[in-house]
Amino acid sequence: MKEITAKELQRFMEKDQTLTIIDVRETAEVADGKIPGAVNIPLGLLEFRMHDLDKSAEYILVCRSGGRSAQAVRFLENQGFDAINMAGGMLAWEGKTE
């Protein structure tokens, strides 16, 4: 499984690189703040929202601590998607939130 650190992701974002971030936390958790531009698709709904995703795109998955996003990465990889887990999740994120 591919992983990226919160610091690496923040550096990519500062360089205005186009990234697609999916936050797999529950809606109530995301209400406390998420990475700017991240799309919230709770882990339990990911299977039902796959039709919204593009297999030619790369996705960075985020959750609170990295566990649920790792599950999401494994699931998406098994479905033919290119996915990367943000290690440490939002607990490791020091950048801006929205």
Domain locations along the chain: 2-92
| Distance set, CA 15 to CA 9, 12, 30, 51, 93 (Å) | 10, 5, 24, 29, 17
Confidence tier at 16 by pLDDT (50, 70, 90): confident
CATH topology of domain 2-92: Oxidized Rhodanese; domain 1 (3.40.250)
Quick check: 98 pLDDT over 90? yes
> 69 falls in which pLDDT band (50, 70, 90)?
very high
Active site residues: 63
CA distances from 54 to 8, 20, 32, 78 (A): 23, 10, 28, 14
Tens of pLDDT along 30-43? Answer: 999 999 999 999 99
